[in-house]
Amino acid sequence: MSKRILLGVIAADCHISFQAELLRGIISQSFRSNCDLAIFAPLHNFALTSLHKDTEKQIFELLFSDRTDGLIYDRNTIQNDDMRAYIDELCRNSGKPVMLLDSSDHKNFETTSVDDCDAFETITDHLIEVHGKRKIYCLTGPKKTYSAEQRLSGYLRSMKKHGISVGREWTIYGDFWHNAANELARRIISGELERPEAVVCGNDVSAIILCNALIEGGIKVPEDIAVTGYDDSPEAKQNSPSITSYSRPNFQLGAEAVRRLYRIITGKICSKVRNEYGGLSFGQSCGCRQNTDIRKKESRCDIINKRYENYFLYGDMLFDISNTGNISDFADRLDNYTFFLHKMKNLRICLTDSFIRSTSSTSADNAAVNLGFGKDSPMHVVLAKSSVSREYGMDDIFTASDVLPDFTGGKKYPSAYYISPLHYNDNFFGYSALSFGKVPMTFSPIYYQWINYVNVALEQMRIRAILNNTVLSAGKALMHDDVTGMPNRNGICSIFREKLAQSASHSLTVECIAAELHGLKKAYYQDGEEKSNRITNNFAAILKKCAAPDEIVGVWSPQMFCIISFGNDRTEKVYKDICSMIRRSDDEERISLPADFSIGTYTQTISSFEELSGCVYQASINRVYTYTTSESNSNPQFDKLCQLRGKMRKHPEEQWNISTIADSLYLSKSYLQKIYKTYFNKSIIEELIEFRLERAKELLTETNMTITDISHECGYSSYNYFVRQFRHSEGVSPTEYRNAKESEKNEG
């Protein structure tokens, strides 16, 4: 099955009626054309700026997604010049075809527009021809915006056609919002502006505000001044008086934008949905009698949303979802409140990997780090909900570049999702994706508040993690060694006490292994604290690798480590492992390893944790092994092989060739391989594979690189060979290994 086209839509104020009509057209035509839709719907139109709103713009990083094939950009809904310029730049850099809506000619993008000029001429004609008005003012939108200029042009054309000379103050540029309408009403009421017979407003919002302000100022509408709007919104019908308006064909605008963009992308013409043309809608504000079909009435959807709004505002959702300590619990509780999203078909709550780690990290520093977002960010679907049931949970992990897992599968039908950011101040958490299935509709205003509740709950969870980790770190500091971070004497005793308490017989037979570093004080006085700490840290790292998972390993005193083993005869194995790791270290590592150390051992059955100290003391005086590195250091051949091994470890991605290595060391291939295995107990190839897989595990755990990129970074020319070798070594695939490590971090 070929990949279905995915169109991205950039639009704010999606809940407003005229915007909903436009989106209904976009969705209907996309479904007819078998295209998926990702509607990037920010919660604000950026008219006012703040730290919180500025972070919201990170959602537009998804414009660079490799999945999206083209963009529809409703530039007029972004009420901030800087933000428009920012999104313009992103669209240009995305390299995708962009279709603007209702915009003047743009040097970079195509434009689809509705001719508002004829429609506005019709409204003005109605006031002149039906009601005999001649002194008519026009309140349009912002100057130099395409829709505002088109509507003004229609007004001027009608006035000219009827032989009416337009006064200098009769045309007013506004904002398509409250401020300009209130200011015009003030000027008329105060007498600053001569009273007109009628005002044609550029949209219904302006008309409603103007009507109400004039009536409050003692001017009757329509008896003293007739007022008309534009867009035919439900709010205009429900106003008192109801607003005479024009039903703009926004549906057709959205549908036509999709058809034109589809042709640019594919070179093909798609069949179109049925036209829904606009026309005059008569109300009382111009002096007409109100039609029966626009009586003030509420649709079933409005009734349900108002009922939900009461439940929502006075309910416990915010308190309930905020009182959670982990992502799983949060998702379970949020699941109980998805019924507020009327006609919701599918919901996805997608959180960034960095946010999830910040809520479960054992480090207060990691929890408090600033959370950003990009198209390569790993994402987790923490809540996937259909209209009737939960679908799946945190196991679904994807890259933000895919936008949603729903867009990558072989679905039978296209889908449309509203993608809205989840964030708080300068921390970006992820995004919510909402779909209404096959119904071409948008969300109600309740959804905005619902998302804000989710944002507050996620921020509370993050802050709680910071506080908990700070307290946890303070407690751990008392039980851990300052230099190595390993459990100190108190930590060792505490861990042992827990194991003793879990023992059925309340006693344990332990083998204490004491490793003492000789000459550490000498290194401190000769080379300083930094060199001494480096030696201690390197030896601690070796000792941790040699200890079994169920053994307790830590720092008993400044020069002595200990391993508390619950097995038999572990001392010899631990000693040999330490020696092997030291011999296999490269030159730089060996400089920071101890010149010599001793190993002591003692076995005892202990019934109280206080007896542990005596056991460790007996191990320290019962020395059975002593090691020095001086012999190895005096062997030139060994030194050369150590240098070789160090280079292989640092650069495993290089194409190492045994013949080339042998020639560089003036050795035969057979002799090289023989002495290498003698010194390091592994062949060159075995070591190289081990170094490459070590590098791969680091990249899988610490970076967001793809598996393919990691395979190349580690020296593998074949992705499949890398996966087979990794699975053979680790028992799991690279993806399974990465997921397991992420789960360990989350559980930790």
Q: Class assignment of domain 478-634?
A: alpha beta
Are both 116-248 and 637-747 of the same fold? no
Which among 426, 341, 323, 440 has a CA at the least distance from the CA of 386? 341
Torsion of CA 79, 82, 83, 85, to 10 degrees: 110
Q: What is the CA radius of gyration of the chain?
A: 36
Report the distance separating Cα 427 and Cα 450, nearest Å: 18
pLDDT at 302: 63
Report the distance separating Cα 42 and Cα 432, nearest Å: 11
**Angle, CA 335 vertex, CA 333 and CA 336 arms, to 5°:** 75
Residue with the two structure tokens 């009698």? 289
Which among 135, 285, 291, 140 has a CA at the least distance from the CA of 219? 285
pLDDT at 198: 97
The H-or-E segment that residue 470 falls in is helix 446-477
Q: For residue 716, how far is the Cα from the chain centroid? A: 31
Report the distance separating Cα 532 and Cα 654, nearest Å: 34
What is the DSSP code (8-state) at residue 246? E
Q: Provide the token pair at 403.
A: 């936008």
Which among 348, 380, 428 has a CA at the least distance from the CA of 61? 428
Q: What is the chain's length?
A: 748
Report the distance separating Cα 115 and Cα 113, nearest Å: 6
Residue with the two structure tokens 């390091």? 680
What is the DSSP code (8-state) at residue 344? -
Q: Provide the token pair at 22.
A: 């436009």
- pLDDT for 685-694, tens place per residue? 888 898 899 8
What DSSP string describes 421-463? EEEETTEEEEEEEEE-TTS-----THHHHHHHHHHHHHHHHHH
Q: For residue 425, how far is the Cα from the chain centroid? A: 14
Contact 7, 71 (CB under 8 A): yes
Which among 83, 95, 104 has a CA at the least distance from the CA of 40? 83
The H-or-E segment that residue 86 falls in is helix 81-94
What DSSP string describes 493-559? HHHHHHHHHH-TTS-EEEEEEEEEEETHHHHHHHH-HHHHHHHHHHHHHHHHHHS-TTSEEEEEETT
Give 670's contacts (C-beta < 8 A, 6+ positions apart): none
Q: Provide the token pair at 579.
A: 């020696």
Report the distance separating Cα 70 and Cα 83, nearest Å: 20
Contact 129, 161 (CB under 8 A): no
**Torsion sign, CA atoms 56, 60, 61, 62:** positive
What is the DSSP code (8-state) at residue 732? S
Q: For residue 356, how far is the Cα from the chain centroid? A: 10
Q: For residue 655, how far is the Cα from the chain centroid? A: 37
736 SS3 class:
helix
Q: Provide the token pair at 589.
A: 């590592």
Give 615's contacts (C-beta < 8 A, 6+ positions apart): 510, 512, 602, 604, 606
Amino acid at 116: D
CATH topology of domain 116-248: Rossmann fold (3.40.50)
What is the DSSP code (8-state) at residue 284? T
What DSSP string describes 18-63? HHHHHHHHHHHHHHHTT-EEEEE--S---SS--HHHHHHGGGGGGG
572 SS3 class:
helix
Q: Is the peptide bond before 241 cis (omega within 30 degrees of 0)?
A: yes
Residue with the two structure tokens 């390569």? 376
CB atoms within 10 A of CB 636: 7
Residue 697 backbone dihedrals phi, psi, to 5 degrees: -65, -35
What DSSP string describes 712-728? HHTT-S-HHHHHHHHHH
Q: Provide the token pair at 463.
A: 């802050």
Q: Class assignment of domain 637-747?
A: mainly alpha
Report the distance separating Cα 346 and Cα 389, nearest Å: 10
Which among 145, 122, 124 has a CA at the least distance from the CA of 133? 124
Q: Terminal CA-to-CA distance of the chain, rounded, Å? A: 42
Residue ranges per structural domain of the chain: 116-248, 478-634, 637-747
The H-or-E segment that residue 281 falls in is strand 280-281
* pLDDT lower than 50: segments of the chain: 1, 292-298, 362-365, 367-368, 393-394, 525, 630-634
Contact 538, 590 (CB under 8 A): no
Q: Provide the token pair at 595.
A: 């010149």
Bridge partners for 280 per DSSP: 246
Give 477's contacts (C-beta < 8 A, 6+ positions apart): none
The H-or-E segment that residue 173 falls in is strand 171-173
Contact 725, 685 (CB under 8 A): no
pTM: 0.60
